[in-house]
Structure 1
Amino acid sequence: MKSSRDRTWSVGEVAERFDLPTNVLRHWESVGLLTPPRDSAGRRRYSRDDIARVAAIQRNKDAGMTLDQIAVLLDSGAPERHAVLQAHLDDLEHRMEQMRISREMTEHAYNCKAHDISGCPAFQRHLADLMAAFD
């Protein structure tokens, strides 16, 4: 009897559980991110390790990484690995700061009593860095 560790899934099952079209998984395979083995009929069979790789790709795509960056992330022997990862960390930090500012701006707009939010001086403080180029 096979253990649950030995179970495999079809491309359709994996796509459905990740809410992805099957062609996305096939594309990831064509660019070298996935290499699921095939059964005797030539059908892809995803192992638990393949599923973990799909999850890593999906999570990092959601975080803004490109497929090229993800390929480097998943290749522990890539010489540029640390440089690519540092660049992504820097990008994440920048985007998180932009999201923080946007959240503060949105919260202010939500609670602001001004009829025209764009004229509110407190609201405009959230835009000061972008408006500085016009001073």
Structure 2
Amino acid sequence: MKSSGDHALSIGAVAARFGVATHVLRHWESVGLLTPARVHGDRRRYGREDLHRVAVILRAKQAGLGLDAIRQMLAGGNSAQRREVLRRQHAELTRRVAEAQAALRLVECALRCDHEDVARCAHFQAVVAEGGGP
């Protein structure tokens, strides 16, 4: 059981600390991602563990994981399920990185091009073709 005294913060303080709205923290609690301690008046109190979990949730969201995938990843005791969620996310991130690199090559090529109409440049057309364009 969590102790409410280990660096306990209010929902407003946690929201401000992480730059999220309080309703986001409440939603994460409602879907099972957070379980802050409760004190008099049913007020939420977030300890160190909760703060770490909020940070993990935010980083996982930045990595593109949805809340269901984050919940599966954080669920204790099922490492096979966690690995499968992470494998799928790894594949998706790898795909997105490749797309971003192809887009960056296209932009860099266009920046180096001196043609009036970059779409008519043979080199630019070759870069477009490499990236799976028409």
Pairwise TM-score range, normalised by the shorter structure: 0.7 to 0.9
**2:71 is the alignment partner of 1:71:** yes
Deviation at residue 75 of structure 1 after TM alignment: 1.2
Encode CA deviations 1:83-106: one digit per residue, 9 max, x unaligned: 111111111111111111112222
Encode CA deviations 1:6-55: one digit per residue, 9 max, x unaligned: 21111111111211111111100000000001112211111111011001
RMSD over equivalenced CA pairs, Å: 1.7
TM-score by length of 1: 0.85
Aligned CA distance change for structure 1 residues 120 and 28 (closer, same or farther; 3 Å): same
Give unpaired runs (5+ residues) of structure 1.
none
- Give, as a single letter, the amino acid of the residue that structure 1 aligns with 2:114: K
**What's the % identity of the aligned pairs?**
42
TM-score by length of 2: 0.86
In structure 2, distance between residues paired with 1:113 and 1:45: 60
Q: Structure 1 or 2: larger strand share?
A: 2
Equivalent residue, structure 2, for 1:41: 41
Equivalent residue, structure 1, for 2:93: 92
**2:32 is the alignment partner of 1:32:** yes
Equivalent residue, structure 1, for 2:51: 51
Moved more, 123-132 or 61-70: 123-132
Q: Which has the higher contact order (CA 8 A, sep 6+)?
A: 2
Q: How many residues align?
A: 128
Whether the 8 Å CA contact 2:9–2:46 is kept in 1: the answer is yes
Deviation at residue 108 of structure 1 after TM alignment: 1.8
Whether the 8 Å CA contact 2:109–2:127 is kept in 1: the answer is no
Equivalent residue, structure 2, for 1:13: 13
Give unpaired runs (5+ residues) of structure 2.
none
In structure 2, distance between residues paired with 1:28 and 1:80: 20
